Amino acid sequence: MASTAEGMKSLLEDRVVKSKWPARLDLAQSLSGLGLGLFMWTHLILVSSILFGKDAMLAITHVMEASFLTPDEAGGYTLIPALTAVGVFGLFIVHACLAMRKFPSDWKAHKTFRSQMAMMNHSDTNGWYTQVVTGFIMFFLGSVHLYIMATQADKIGPQLSADRMWTYGMWPLYLILLFAVEMHGAIGMYRLAIKWGVFDGKDPRATRKRLKVLKTLVTVFFLSLGLASLAAYVKIGIENVENNRVGERYVAGQEG
Ligand code: HEM
């Protein structure tokens, strides 16, 4: 009897120990995070084209819509940004579901985690908590933005985007989302580098210090770029109201 029970126990332990699923899910979380992080940095660089003027942003919009493939150069395939938004939304949901596995499961677990975090005051542990909070914010605000991008992809452009920011009141959402995304993305990329030891080299401790500095620089760079772009869209949005231009599509060369 005893040996049957022991046999069952070791069989169960074998199954638990040999399961590759936790490692697979971890890898999937890292890869989806890497994809989203790279997407977000690229996305902000494209959105910041407004800092070079309306024509620059219009040119980027046209490239994103592959308008060079259409006989009529002015309009492209808005289905491309719409489908991209749907794809990013999918990846976003998968990444959030995978991340939820590691959240404190109830209020008691959350309190224990918070008190241990305060006791340790370790920057990487604090960073993990920042990711939980910013991830939570992004789940709500990012979903609103992605839904709008998927359903109104034909209304992206220097003037229409500015109208969405100012006249249609999206700027407060973008402002909060910008801080959440940039903090979440930079901490996430830093954690990925540490976790998989990609830049470890001969002295992992020195690498960790350098990566921390890089993380801060990247956050400051993208936050500054985002804030400057947000201000540029808001300025155009206000001008559109003043000049009775709300809802008007920008035509290439109109500005200069
Ligand atoms: C394919 C998917 C996406 C597309 C096509 C897209 C497109 C755009 C566009 C055109 C703008 C300019 C404002 C506007 O037109 O409303 C913008 C701004 C912004 N987007 Fe996205 N976006 C996408 C995904 C995301 C995701 C996943 C996030 C974060 C969760 C995000 C965060 C932001 C933020 C924070 C801003 C304001 C940037 C600033 O400060 O200037 N976007 N996006």
Tens digit of each residue's pLDDT (9 = 90 or more) over 208-221: 999 999 999 999 99
What pTM value is reported for the model?
0.91
- The CA distances from residue 111 to 106, 114, 115, in Å, are 9, 5, 6
Check residue 101 and give its pLDDT.
87
**CB contact at 8 A, 186 and 179:** no
Q: 13: pLDDT confidence band, cut at 50, 70 and 90? A: low
Looking up residue 207, the CATH number of its domain turns out to be 1.20.1300.10
Q: Residues for the chain: how many in total?
A: 256
Q: Which residue has the tokens 């404190």?
A: 104
Q: Note whether residue 213 is domain-resident.
A: yes
pLDDT class for 201, splitting at 50, 70, 90? confident
Q: Is residue 16 part of a domain?
A: no
| Number of independent structural domains in the chain | 1
pLDDT at 109: 87
Ligand 1 mutation target, pool 145, 177, 249, most atoms within 8 A of CB = 145
Q: Does residue 162 form part of some domain?
A: yes
Report the C-alpha gap between 89 and 36 in whole angstroms: 10
Provide the residue range defining the domain that includes 163: 26-104+111-242
Tokens representing 10 are 């070791």
How far is residue 243's CA from residue 199's CA, in Å, rounded to a whole number? Answer: 53
Q: List pocket residues of ligand 1, CB cut-off 6 Å.
A: 43, 47, 81, 84-85, 88, 92, 138, 142, 145-146, 149, 156, 161, 164-165, 170, 174, 177-178, 181, 226, 229-230
